[in-house]
Every structure is written in structure tokens, then in C-alpha cells.
Amino acid sequence: MSVDLIESALRPLADPGRAAGMAAYMRDQFPFLGVATPARRRAVRGLLPRTLDRDLVDALWSLPEREFQYVACDHLQKVPLESAAADFLRSLVVRKSWWDTVDALAKPVGRGCTSEQMRAWARDDNLWVRRAAVLHQLGRREATDAELLGEILAGNLDSGEFFLDKAVGWALREYSKTDPAWVRTFLDEHEAAALTRREGSKYL
């Protein structure tokens, strides 16, 4: 798959006014075309392969406008992944890192990495690698490995990093919809940042 087809589908939809607002929302970390998510997905429908295309993802990640990284994330969310993809996924997490793509990569990371790899990521020096590990079980509900979740969250309670404190709280909040008693016990047994505690206890 050539990245040129995707560029040809998206660039004509550019809206400079919308792009400025989208960039500002991301604290001007990246330039944008100004294409909203529904329009972006419609434009590339049928263009993305059904199996992992690493060259395509790399090419999309190398383009300056953020929408191309979003297309890559959409691709990764839909294709089969195996543990052999872990290094590749990590390379994406640490490139052009910000919460938008890291959060979009979290579920693919969960499918493409082993529990042991997630334990290692949770201790990584890179903030965004750790955030991906914290969030990788989002949405698993009853299939959540609670022991692994607790280990990863407990190891990231004292970072002092806003994006980690927020992520830990988010993971707790989501799991509280499945097992509120587990989350309540976790919060009772651990010291946590005020932000983490506020986010994690929202539904308790």
C-alpha cells in the first residue's frame, strides 16, 4: 500500500481554520490538516490493508500532519497483531509522543505484547511507554488480568507525572465499572496522587 493514496485522499480535505484549533488543543505539538475524525475515516475507507503493513505505518508516522498518525493508529487497531510486534509498537510510542497517539496505541499494544513485556514497559524510563503499559488493558472488563493491572498501577503511583497520574486514574475508573470492590481495595491500600484518586474513584 502506497502512502500516496492516503495523502491524496486527505490533503484535499484540509481546512486551515479547523487545523489551527486542532493544533491548539494539542498544545501546538504538531501541525494538522484540519480533517475531523469522521471525515478522515470516510476518506481512507477501503485504502488500508487488512494485515499489518509496517512500511505504511512508518511512512504515515513520518508525515508532518497529525491526521496521518491517526490513520496509522486506526490501521493498527483493526489488524491482527502478535508479540513479535512489540518492538515495532514501542518505536511508535516513543516517536512524536503525545497522549493522543499513545492512548490510541494502548489497545494494539495490549494485543501485540506479552504480560512480561508489559511489566518491562511499566518500568521503562520513557513516560509514554509507561503510560501505554498502564492503559493496555482498557476495555477488557471481566477478561482483565487484575494481578497484572495491580502490579503495573502500583509501580506508577509515585511518578509525579501528570500524564501517568491521569492514566492510572483512568485505568482504575474503567476497571471500577467491572469490579468496584477491587478498585476500592486498591485505593485503600495504596498512596496515590490526588488526581489519580479523584479519577479512579469517580464511579465508586
Q: Which of 111, 35, 36, 113 is nearest to 78 (CA)?
A: 111
Q: How many of the other CB atoms lie within 10 Å of CB of 196? A: 26
pLDDT of residue 81: 93
Q: Match 502512502 to its residue by C-alpha cell.
A: 3
**Domain ranges for the chain:** 1-80, 83-204
pLDDT tens-digit profile of 73-97?
Answer: 999 999 999 877 999 999 999 999 9
Which class does domain 83-204 fall in? Answer: mainly alpha
**Cα 177 from Cα 34, distance rounded (Å):** 35
What are the pLDDT digits (tens) for 106-129?
A: 999 999 999 999 999 999 999 999
Three-state DSSP class for 45? coil
In the chain, pLDDT over 90 holds for what percent of residues? 97
Residue predicted with more confidence, 84 or 144: 144
- Please give the grid coordinates belonging to residue 156: 506508577
Tell how many helices (H) and how many strands (E) occur in the chain: 13, 0
| Second-level CATH architecture of 1-80 | Up-down Bundle (1.20)
Q: Are 67 and 14 in contact (CB under 8 A)?
A: no
